[in-house]
Amino acid sequence: MAENQYTEDNIRSLDWKEHIRLRPGMYIGKLGDGSAADDGIYILVKEVVDNCIDEFVMGNGTKVDIKIKDGKVTIRDYGRGIPLGKVEDVVSKINTGGKYDSKAFKKSVGLNGVGSKAVNALSSYFMVYSVRDGQKKQVAFCRGELTEDLPISKTDERNGTYVEFIPDEDVFKKFAFKTVYLAKMMWNYCYLNRGLTIMMNGERFISKNGLKDLLENNMDGDPLYPIIHLEGEDIEVAFTHGKTYGEDYASFVNGQHTTQGGTHQSAFRESVAKVIKDFYGKNYEASDIRQSIVAAVAVKVMEPIFESQTKTKLGSLEIEPEGKSMRAFINDFLKEKLDNYLHKNPDVADILEKKIKQSEKERKELSGIRKIARDRAKKANLHNKKLRDCRVHLTDLKHARREETTLFITEGDSASGSITKSRDVNTQAVFSLRGKPLNCYGLTKKIVYENEEFNLIQAALNIEDGMDDLRYNKIVVATDADVDGMHIRMLLLAFFLQFFPDLIKRNHVYILQTPLFRVRNKKKTFYCYSEQERLDAIAEIGKNAEITRFKGLGEISPDEFKNFIGENIRLEPVFLTKEASIETILSYYMGKNTPERQQFIISNLRKEGEIGEEDNELEKAS
């Protein structure tokens, strides 16, 4: 057997673009195709817009123009513009940028001079030009390689920087931008930067009241009491309580949306409970105080420490340069501002205490059956094999690789068997439903513990006490594309919306798109997800096409299923919009039959095999 050699020939150095393209996850997180809010194509947009925001924060330019169409992104700010002699360097040389000078960018979003270089390296086309005082400098690249270097020229354009790029399809397979994710990103920029105007594809984004606007525009239904909006130096918070279960937080650092929270969000959760407890002089449980809270917190930090380049979780323990801990900083702020507010607004204080007592009562009512339900869930999973888990949770990598994990919720043994045999056992788990779930609309959380299916789903996801320990990043509803399958899908979504809305609000829930037809001959095979795709496949193959209609997931063999839950998986995200509250959605779709819903169904009937936009109405409206 040949001995492995380790010599000088085994050592190689990668230049900046090679390393980014070889290890993109280090720079932009996961890749994805755009179906998830944190997929790489959105990180590329964010990295460029972050630079525009930094200019605004420094007092330069109040408007950003953005156009995103057919995979091409253009972003134009009206700040100072990149110094003309450094335009090429700042987008193509690692560790090059203005943010190392803390005097120029004291509380910047970007820190390491990496963002725009990553966009450059991961784009099939990247062009940037800068305008300063009537002069313009333009360069262009392909996958990080310089392709155009125009000399400085005269121009009548306003000062600022223009960036245009197309994400590389070799890296981002079959990607597509979703407007709902982009719009949320732009709104967050404006909530955190009052006075900034963003124009994206003709839509105007601007905020006058910061985090107060964020809660008003995103709350599900009316708040129990007026939003409490508090501001101080380097900190802003807004919160109220709603009528849904769980805790809903939006947290930010230097204008960056920290979707995974961090030390500032943890400090807020702890401090808001402590200050409220002290105000009433009663030893309320923190969980009862925070139940149904809807909150946003934003801090500004000198040289923040994030846990990754994508900056989704803050790790800073101190507020620089004061040297005060994050916990003490936020607690001292709330101790003064929130305590004063509650004293000055006794009506709000009374409503808040009634809500706390209501949560306390419900928790105590449930306490008797929670332990029994947990034990029942463990035994059911052990003996009935309802959950076929993935290996990530059996190793020390369960936290590091949680973002890669997926749970498929399937109907019936045949479908779950096919997916189980074809899945990636390292990161994909399967939960098998037995029959149709209960319609839980209008029921209390007690039913989650009393109903075996709901109790087992809750246990599998590990969300009994909140989202912090959620075991799977993606929850994929995998049901047949027929009437029963659609009904089961609706019942599951109703369950999540009723009791665990944060799963949907935080973009964890998806619908698996599976093919309706297989069209093939001896040389080619096409899997078709719509009637039009079927007709196109027949036209390409010709007269000898063999057409198979898949009526259920169980009819798709494990070997074929690998094509649909692997690299080529098609997922439709389930998201909430501000047009309708959860209560309105559930009462319309899951309440007693109404003439309006009957008319909706009649108006949107489809021939067998056709899946139209209306079939996903609950997912889209919800």
Is residue 178 within 8 A of residue 35, CB to CB? The reply is yes
DSSP state of 7: S
Residue 508, token pair as written in the block: 């964890």
**160-167 and 72-77 strand pairing:** antiparallel
pLDDT score, position 606: 43
Q: Give the whole-angstrom CA distance, residue 622 versus residue 618.
A: 5
CA-closest candidate to residue 192, choices 99, 298, 50, 266: 298
Q: What is the model's pLDDT at position 97? A: 53
Strands 428-433 and 406-411: parallel
CA distance 237 to 227: 10
Nearest to 239 by CA among 227, 249, 247: 227
498 Rama sector, left if φ>0, alpha if ψ -120 to 50, beta otherwise: alpha
CB atoms within 10 A of CB 319: 21
Going from the first residue of the chain to its last (622 residues), give the mean pLDDT of each consecutive group of 10, the final group possibly shorter.
Answer: 58 72 83 87 93 89 95 96 92 64 53 75 96 96 94 95 95 90 94 95 96 91 94 94 88 85 90 96 94 93 69 68 79 95 97 95 83 74 72 64 86 81 90 87 86 88 84 90 83 90 88 88 88 91 87 79 82 78 76 67 47 39 38
State how far the alpha carbon of 447 is from the alpha carbons of 293, 450, 487, in Å.
22, 5, 20
Written as six digits, the tokens of 505 are 């609000």
What's the pTM value of the predicted model, to 2 decimals?
Answer: 0.80
- Kindly state the tokens that stand for 472: 């799977």
Distance (Å, rounded) from C-alpha 406 to C-alpha 564? 14
Strand partners, 125: 166
Strand partners, 74: 67, 164
For 70, 489, 584, 618, the CA distances from 579, given in Å and listed in that order, are: 27, 22, 10, 13
**Is-contact 426 392, C-beta < 8 A?**
yes
Please tell me the distance from the alpha carbon of residue 554 to that of residue 412, in angstroms, as a whole number: 8
pLDDT at 580: 64
Residue tagged 């982009």 (tokens)? 182
Residue with tokens 């190793």: 395
Domains of the chain by range and CATH?
Answer: 16-205 (3.30.565.10), 211-361 (3.30.230.10), 385-514+550-621 (3.40.50.670), 517-546 (no CATH)
Q: What is the DSSP string of 97-135?
A: SGGG-TTT-TT-S--SS-HHHHHHHTEEEEEEEEEETTE
Q: Locate 615 and state its tokens.
A: 């079939």
Q: Which residue has the tokens 């057997």?
A: 1
C-alpha 351 chain-centroid distance: 32
Q: How is residue 449 written in tokens? A: 């513990």
Task: Give me the pLDDT at residue 215, please.
Answer: 94
Question: Who's near 98: CB < 8 A, 6+ residues apart?
Answer: 90, 104, 105
pLDDT of residue 398: 54
**Is the preceding omega at residue 151 within 30 degrees of 0, hence cis?**
no
Q: For position 112, what pLDDT does the model report?
A: 44
**Helical segments of 319-345, H only:** 326-344
